[in-house]
């Protein structure tokens, strides 16, 4: 099996199985299973739908929201300073300066 090292989240199912076995844990131990579940959902949707031109919907939204809440709780519990940072989601985007 030749699984290329890539920053893209798209892999063959065989490479994805290997990657999930060595995937990075979440910031909170309690969040790791949620992270893996979301990653698998996203990778499947991205490869099977989005890359084939079907960008409608995202079946992983609920998984992402649960994972996001778990990570935010873990960050607070670990007292990790995050002042001024936007993470795990879109903040209010600033319009580009067109002048």
**Which residues lie closer than 8 Å to 84 by C-beta, 6 or more apart?**
none
**How does residue 64 score in pLDDT terms, banded at 50, 70 and 90?**
very high
pLDDT of residue 88: 53
Break the chain into its structural domains and give their ranges.
25-78
**How does residue 85 score in pLDDT terms, banded at 50, 70 and 90?**
low
Q: What is the pLDDT of residues 43-55, one digit of tens each?
A: 999 999 999 998 8
Per-residue tokens: 57: 């919907």
pLDDT of residue 81: 80
- Check residues 69 and 11 and name the one with the higher pLDDT: 69
- Check residues 80 and 6 and name the one with the higher pLDDT: 80
Helix (H, G, I), strand (E, B) or coil at 24: coil
User: If you count them, how many residues does the chain have?
Assistant: 99
**How many CB atoms within 10 Å of residue 38?**
21
Per-residue tokens: 74: 């873990």
């Amino acid at each position: 099996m030749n699984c290329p090292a890539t920053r893209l989240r798209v892999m063959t199912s065989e490479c994805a199985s290997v990657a999930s076995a060595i995937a990075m844990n979440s910031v909170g131990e309690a969040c790791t299973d949620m992270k893996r579940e979301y990653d698998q959902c996203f990778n499947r949707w991205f490869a099977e739908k989005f890359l084939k031109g079907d960008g409608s919907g995202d079946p992983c939204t609920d998984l992402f929201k649960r994972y996001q809440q778990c990570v935010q709780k873990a960050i607070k519990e670990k007292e990790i300073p995050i002042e001024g940072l936007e993470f795990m989601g879109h903040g209010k985007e600033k319009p580009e300066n067109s002048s």
